[in-house]
Structure 1
Amino acid sequence: CTQQHLRHIGEQIWDRSPAELSLVETSFQRDDRVTALYRHFLLSYDWLDNANQLVLSSASSLLLTHLIQHYSQVTWRLPTVTGGLSPYVLRNICDYIDAHLAEPLTLTVLAQQAALSEYHFARMFSASMSIPPHHYVMQRRLQRAKQLLATSQYSMTDIAYQCGFSSA
């Protein structure tokens, strides 16, 4: 098996990507699970027959899974942020922010709306929007204030309060 195949199986087992994965070299060790897989699958089928390829592929995956679970050394890397928030959650968060600009918006409140921890929400929001949540909220408040200044007859103090600012 290739290192790439080994890593792929390892990622499926642990649902995360190892920085390094290697199998511990052992000799003359008895493992009943390996023996059973070998006897049941590998000795019973013709490797060259195309009809048996799925069975042999499954058997090799079972064997590698067992080896990785019981005979591997794993070095983990830090998780990478990819993808960000789902479009549905991101849209709901942005709508919530727009609807509640006059209120104090905290990371705790926004994370609860997304049903995530504060730390995870902040990372995912930043990955999705390319700016942290507090910058986005400030941008939305300033945009709302500009709009109200241009289109309404409210005083600057009223506009500031409607946009979540404490003073004009």
Structure 2
Amino acid sequence: MISSSMLYPEPAVEVVRKGRVSRIAMEHQWRSPVDEDADARQRGDILVSRWTRNDTQSLEVVSPVSTTHHCIAMNLKCTSLTFSHAGKTLVRGRVTAGAVQITAPDVRCRAVFESPGDVLHLFVSPQVLGECFEDTFDRPHPGEIRIDDPRLVRDPALERLGQALAVSQSNDAALGKVFTDSVSLAIVSRVIARHFTVTERQTREASALPSWRLSRAIEYIDAHLAESIGLADIATSTGLTRMHFASQFRRATGMRPHEYLLRRRIDHAQRLLLESKHNVLDVALSCGFRSQAHFTTVFKRLVGETPYCWRMKANVDRQADSRISGSERKISPAGQG
């Protein structure tokens, strides 16, 4: 069975016997495989080819459009280029070795190479994608697989497999084919495992905390700012476990519960510093901080100044605003006359 972490040829032999991979050939046209076997495409094989150029002059290339095969492009050396996918520019600049990009069928790509390049291309049929999915997840995929995410992927396992495939040399044609077949299938299996694992993880991701639960959490936090509040306390107020509450709260607010609690405490502290005569220590204790030093550290990190300096400047600004407002009231009657 093929697994997503397969790094050796032996586990792939059973699938190799199905005759799904052709030999590596050099491309005469970018992303256009050379079929050594005239029936290779018709059988739905993986077509493996390599495109290289050593010229330093700028070169524009456009890919043929395949109606059936995905193209897995594996960059073997650093290069500078502009790469467009379905009319949208994805890359403009340097691309490192090991970067992988996947193009679905019926999508045209265009590139302008500004430096030498070396790219390995695997053209993968729907049949192979389906076989690799079933071998990886022990169940068939419902319908035909289409991978529509064209972003560059950096995966050390894919990089090692691509480099191994690129440098493979053997005087034994049969052995060379087994190795090429095995590594190629390992690459496809890894791509399938990555794509569908990420998709399932995103599907399982917690939804945002509903507004009524969020209101309960905020009410609880505001009512207990001076106390030692734990994550379990806030979660209980919403009727959720700590794990579910934390993930949903972060999606709803963009902050972890601890970060949000600190900000609410600092907001409350700012109101007390302006509206009360309490000293800094009393304000700190009233907002749930156990020491003035900790309060000062957090306040300065979030506000940019120490509580004392912030209070002094805020009072000066408020007095200045009050004087300006008083002057305007005095001037106003004369202006109206």
| TM band (smaller chain) | 0.5 to 0.7
| Alignment of 1:131 onto 2:131 | no
Q: One-letter code of the match for 1:167?
A: S
Distance, in Å, in 1 between the alignment partners of 2:141 and 2:257 is 36
| Alignment of 1:22 onto 2:142 | yes
Deviation digits for residues 54-106 of structure 1, max 9, x if unmatched? xxxxxxxxxxxxxxxxxxxxx87221233x11111101110110110001111
1:18-167 to structure 2, matched below 5 A, reads 21-22=141-142, 77-78=200-201, 79-82=204-207, 84-167=208-291
Q: One-letter code of the match for 2:212?
A: Y
Deviation digits for residues 21-57 of structure 1, max 9, x if unmatched? 438xxxxxxxxxxxxxxxxxxxxxxxxxxxxxxxxxx
Distance, in Å, in 1 between the alignment partners of 2:264 and 2:141 is 46
Q: For CA contacts below 8 A with separation 6 or more, give which structure has more relative contact order.
A: 1
- Overall identity of the aligned pairs, in %: 33
Aligned length: 97
Distance, in Å, in 2 between the alignment partners of 1:163 and 1:108 is 19
Greater Cα radius of gyration, structure 1 or 2 = 2
Alignment RMSD: 1.8
- Structure 2's unaligned 5+ residue stretches are 1-139, 144-195, 293-337
Query: For 1:116, what is the secondary structure of its paired residue?
Result: coil
Distance, in Å, in 2 between the alignment partners of 1:21 and 1:134 is 41
Please list every run of at least 4 consecutive aligned residues from structure 1 whose deviation after the TM superposition is greater than 3 angstroms.
Answer: none
Query: For 1:22, what is the secondary structure of its paired residue?
Result: coil
- Structure 1's unaligned 5+ residue stretches are 1-19, 24-74
Distance, in Å, in 1 between the alignment partners of 2:291 and 2:242 is 28
Point out the structure with the larger helix share.
1
TM-score, normalization: structure 1? 0.54
Distance, in Å, in 1 between the alignment partners of 2:250 and 2:228 is 20
TM-score, normalization: structure 2? 0.27
